[in-house]
């Protein structure tokens, strides 16, 4: 893993990829698929995400207040679906679906080796959790995995339907 500039983290998440969220609950790491997230601030990078209180990851995220957001490329679509369709309450999803845990530098939940980007995050605001399951996260450290060459992300539009990034276009713009 290679460090990635915090000032550019928004370029990973602003396009709306489905991500994998790792958490720790009672000492055990878990992972879930997540599409409901958005950037909130450029730098230090802050984001908001929705983790349902019906979800096993919710308890760990609220208690430990740390997580990793790992960005999978398109070839991991079948793994993303398996992760999203199983529960950490009865499955070690890392072992079951071939995801490799890598220790993070500043948080307890692990990075995922197979993802091309990993963001170590701290929960910095829980005031919106009771109202609508929204957690505010601050990215402490970001990593790019040079071994993962495929960086085309997946965008979920319901029931296992994904669109994959294709052509990139670059227009002259001042918009950050």
The 147-166 site mask, x for binding a copy of itself (CB under 8 A), equals -----xx-xxxxxxxxxxxx
3-state SS, residue 106:
coil
Give the footprint of a copy of itself on residues 112-131 (CB under 8 A): 125, 127-128, 131
Element (H, E) at 63: helix 56-64
Query: How far, in Å, CA of 84 to CA of 20, rounded?
Result: 9
Q: Select from 16, 38, 49 the least CA-distant residue to 153.
A: 16
Rounded to 5 degrees, what angle do the CA atoms 36, 18, 87 make?
80
Question: Exactly one of 68, 115, 136, 137 binds a copy of itself (CB under 8 A); which one?
Answer: 136
To the nearest whole angstrom, how small is the minimum distance from the Cβ of residue 77 to a copy of itself? 6
Query: How far, in Å, CA of 119 to CA of 113, rounded?
Result: 12
Q: Select from 137, 133, 86 the least CA-distant residue to 107.
A: 137
Question: Exactly one of 2, 26, 149, 173 binds a copy of itself (CB under 8 A); which one?
Answer: 173
To the nearest whole angstrom, how small is the minimum distance from the Cβ of residue 166 to a copy of itself? 3
Question: Exactly one of 4, 10, 58, 135 binds a copy of itself (CB under 8 A); which one?
Answer: 10
Give the footprint of a copy of itself on residues 86-115 (CB under 8 A): none
Question: Exactly one of 4, 24, 25, 37 binds a copy of itself (CB under 8 A); which one?
Answer: 37
Question: Exactly one of 81, 115, 123, 129 binds a copy of itself (CB under 8 A); which one?
Answer: 81
To the nearest whole angstrom, how small is the minimum distance from the Cβ of residue 103 to a copy of itself? 28
What is the secondary structure of 61-75 as a DSSP string?
HHHH-EEEEEE-BGG
């Amino acid at each position: 893993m290679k460090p990635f500039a915090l000032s550019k983290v928004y370029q990973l998440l602003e396009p709306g990829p489905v991500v994998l969220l790792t958490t720790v609950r009672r000492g055990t790491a878990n992972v879930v698929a997540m599409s409901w997230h958005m950037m909130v601030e450029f730098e230090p990078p802050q984001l908001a995400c929705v983790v349902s209180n019906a979800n096993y990851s919710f308890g760990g995220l609220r208690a430990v207040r740390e997580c990793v957001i790992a960005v999978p490329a398109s070839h991991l679509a079948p793994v993303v679906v398996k992760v999203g369709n199983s529960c950490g309450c009865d499955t070690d999803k890392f072992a079951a679906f071939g995801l490799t845990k890598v220790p993070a530098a500043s948080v307890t939940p692990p990075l995922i080796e197979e993802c091309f980007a990993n963001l170590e995050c701290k929960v910095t605001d829980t005031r919106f959790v009771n109202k609508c399951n929204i957690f505010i996260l601050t990215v402490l450290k970001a990593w790019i995995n040079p071994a993962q060459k495929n960086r085309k992300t997946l965008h979920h539009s319901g029931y296992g339907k994904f669109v994959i990034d294709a052509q990139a276009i670059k227009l002259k713009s001042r918009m950050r």
